Structure 1
């Protein structure tokens, strides 16, 4: 199963990863990070649905996402 790591402390909340996820498991967190943005994250209950396509990591302008297969 793929594993996705979000560096929420670096996320600006641009939403590019949210829009490109083909299985729609990425959303914005309910809390703010240290920079005052709502970071993107994978909903824990949907983590097992990740297909490891790396679309989210490739679209992130701040290199906040790493995908491990």
Structure 2
């Protein structure tokens, strides 16, 4: 398995789908996610994400999507 680079992932949480169970928060090895004021999952430290996908995999409501960030630099 290839090494994942920190800060290379975009984590999207769909709050309307999130029921606030906290499973994603518990499974995140880098503690990228936390509860917001409404008791739903939110992204607190996206730059620490290692793109492991544990949050997306374990979310019972499919409220989280982890994608690779697009590079802003053009390839030469």
Q: What band does the TM-score fall into relative to the shorter chain?
A: 0.7 to 0.9
TM-score (norm 1): 0.83
Count of aligned pairs between the two proteins: 61
**RMSD value over aligned CA atoms?**
0.8
TM-score (norm 2): 0.76
How many Å separate the matches in 2 of 1:18 and 1:41?
A: 9
- Counterpart of 2:27 (choices 9, 20, 29) is 20
User: Greater share of helix residues, 1 or 2?
Assistant: 1
Q: Structure 2: which 5+ residue stretches go unaligned? A: 1-7, 69-76
How many Å separate the matches in 2 of 1:14 and 1:55?
A: 15
Show the counterpart of 2:57: 58
